[in-house]
Every structure is written in structure tokens, then in C-alpha cells.
Amino acid sequence: MAKFSFLFALLAVNVVSGAVVRRQAAGTQFITGPCKSDADCASGCCGFKSGKCAGAVVALERDGGCGFGNPTPNDDAARKLRGQPPRAPGDVFTPPGGAAPPTGGANNGTTDTGTNNGGAGGAAGSGKAPGTQFITGACANDGECASGCCGFRSGKCAGAIVAQERDGGCGFGNTTPNDDAAKKLRGQAPATPATPSSPPANNGAATGAAAGSGKPAGTQFITGSCANDGECASGCCGFKSGKCAGAIVAQERDGGCGFGNTTPNDDAARKLRGQAPATPATPPPPPANNGATTGAATGAAAGSGKPAGTQFITGSCANDGECASGCCGFKSGKCAGAIIAQERDGGCGFGNSTPNDDAARKLRGQA
């Protein structure tokens, strides 16, 4: 009888221990993976509302910030990506366009509505509460969107920065577009009423349409064929492809903007970041070798046989120099976007002893 009782107790312990939900090891969860804290995620960001790992910057637009499990959201991982110092004690992160959520309890049944973006919330006849519409949701003004941005042309909620490239800006229902939510994400002051933002379109071109193209300035969207930057709504005609591209994405995937010119440029990307245009004496080179001196000096690691800068996103690589983006994912050994790799691949620098963010810093104009 005693032996039977011992076996039963042992079986019960096994059943109970098997039912315990084990916590994920720190940093092992990737984007969309469930998480209980920022530390669980490889990106360093557990979405405040969703409890799922998210890109550090994307979470600020779509998930109220990072910090699931805490009483208030944070932007710690995003600040780290941008090269900013941590917030000082008492400096509480406020989600884009909204007030900081109440600190009553750890997560996430707060009454935070996301974003108002300074608007009244619901436009006449819409009946939608402020901050309740997510990306691609129909909206009548910026206030209805959790991202603080109602696409100026589409009337659909959009990411604050993406809308500047693809939708002519934010501010649907207004007479002029704005970049208020994007400026807030970047930590910049909002534009004054006297200086409303304009959609990144003509890129400084005088005519907008190259000889023989016949396309009006700013009428071509992403992937549309173009003869110069002026034809694209994004202000960027991919230098290699001759197709309209996102101003920042083109720096990673298309050698820059400026199709039809002798050298590529990053004019539209600089405009998005609020930087001054590059001077003619210092045209930006396409992001290729990343300046790395590890591996072989020519950009091809021993035994790879791949010329410098010839591999595109997801192409296998032995070092940063082989990738057109200047970034060989540290964990995967595949070419990756310079900024995306910081969130999803542990950084750049495959083949080196430590990862780097050299290409990302170059894109941001940092030393």
C-alpha cells in the first residue's frame, strides 16, 4: 500500500510539473512571439498592449510602446536603436499622440486610448472613438488612429513614418498633409501652423518628368516605373531599378535614389529625417562595403568568391562587405536591411566576433 501511495504521488508531481508554463529564456522570442517582458524578446520589446514581441520602433506606432507587464509603456529599445541615452528617472514615455497611461497596475487593462494627435477624435459623422482604429482601418482624421496618422490620400490609418513615403503624409480631412506623428516619434517639435509639412514628392527637381517619360511630377507610387526622383510621390526613383521606392528602403536595397543621374542620392531620406540636403561636393555613395576591414579587404571572405556589394536581402553572405545593404546578419549569415537586422538578427557583422550597427549608423547620418 505504501509503495502504491509513493508511485501515485510521483505520478501527480510529474503531471503538475508538465502543466507548468515555462518562461521563455531571455532574448529567445522573435517578432510576434508571446512574451511577458521586454527581456524575453530578441528585439528587446514586448508590445505593451499585445504581449507579443515587436520591432522596437514599430511598437511605438502600433502597440502603445514596449513594456508588457509593467504599469507604463517604454521606448527603451527604440532609444537604443537610435543611439539615444536611456530616459532619466521620472521622464515617462508618452505613446505617440496620447497621454501617458495611468500607473494603477501592471499592464495592460489601462484606459489608454493610444493617440489623439491633437485632433478632436471623431470627425463629423464618423462615430469612431479617438485612437480606436488600427493600421489600414478607415478614418476621418488623425485622431481616430492609434498611430496618430490618417493617410492624407487614402483615408486609412497608417504608420506615422510610412505615410510620409506612401500616402503623401498624414492629415486626411485637412487641406494640407502633416507629419506631426512622425515628428513626435523622432522626438522633434511639431510643425507650426505657418509651416505645414508637405508630402515628399518632387525632390527638388525642376520639371519632375524626364525627357520622353510624360509622367507628371509626384504621380508614381512605390514600384511604379520612373525616370527621375521627381516623378515619385516618395521623392525617390531607385538608382538601380528605375522604380519608385521608399526613401529609406532605397538606401538599403537599390543603391540609393536618383535614377537617371550619374550618382545616387539620399535627398528624400534626409528630408524625412529633417536633415539638410547633401552638398554637391559630397554625394552619398551606395551602401555597399560598409567600410569593414575584417574578412578580406575586397569584401569577399575567404572561400566565398562573392564580389563586394553583389548580394541582396536574404542572399547568403560571409561578411558585411558582400551585401548591397552593407549588413550581413550576425546570426543568420544572410544579407539584411541595416536597421531591421538590429531588431531581428542581433545586428550586422556575420563572421566577426561581435555584431555591429555600422550600416544603420551610416543610414542615420551618425558618425
Backbone phi, psi, residue 238, to 5°? -50, 130
Say if residue 211's pLDDT is above 70: no
The residues near 210 (Cβ < 8 Å, ≥ 6 apart) are 227, 228, 231, 260
pLDDT level of residue 348 (50, 70, 90 thresholds): very high
Cα 67–Cα 71–Cα 73 angle in degrees, nearest 5: 35
pLDDT band at 112 (very low <50, low <70, confident <90, very high): very low
How buried is residue 1: exposed, middle or buried, by Cβ count under 10 Å (0-12/13-18/19+)? exposed
DSSP 88: P
Instruction: Please determine, for residue 23, whether its predicted confidence score (pLDDT) is greater than 60.
Output: no
Confirm if 133 and 144 have CB atoms less than 8 A apart: yes
Per-residue pLDDT at 250? 86
- Note if the pTM is more than 0.85: no
Q: What is the DSSP string of 125-139?
A: TT-PPTT-B-TT-B-
**Tens digits of residue pLDDT in 27-42:** 788 888 898 999 988 8
CB 363 within 8 A of CB 287: yes
Find where cell 550618382 sits.
Answer: 263
Backbone φ and ψ of 183, nearest 5° = -65, -35
Alpha helices in 20-75 (DSSP H): 58-62
Taking alpha carbons only, the member of 178, 188, 144, 186 closest to residue 60 is 186
List, in sequence order, the alpha helices (H) in 84-231: 162-166, 180-186
- The helix, strand and coil proportions of the chain, stated in percent and rounded to the nearest 5, come to 20, 10, 70
Give the chain's end-to-end CA distance (angstroms, integer). Answer: 76
Evaluated on CA atoms 223, 332, 330, 68, the torsion sign reads positive
For 151-206, the pLDDT digits (tens) are 888 888 888 888 888 888 888 888 888 888 888 877 777 665 544 444 433 333 33
Other beta carbons less than 10 A from residue 100's beta carbon: 14
Output the CA angle 181-186-190, nearest 5 degrees: 50
User: Where are the chain's structural domains?
Assistant: 24-111, 113-195, 200-286, 288-367
Whole-angstrom distance, CA of residue 355 vs CA of residue 349: 5
Question: Which helix or strand (DSSP H or E) is residue 245 part of?
Answer: none
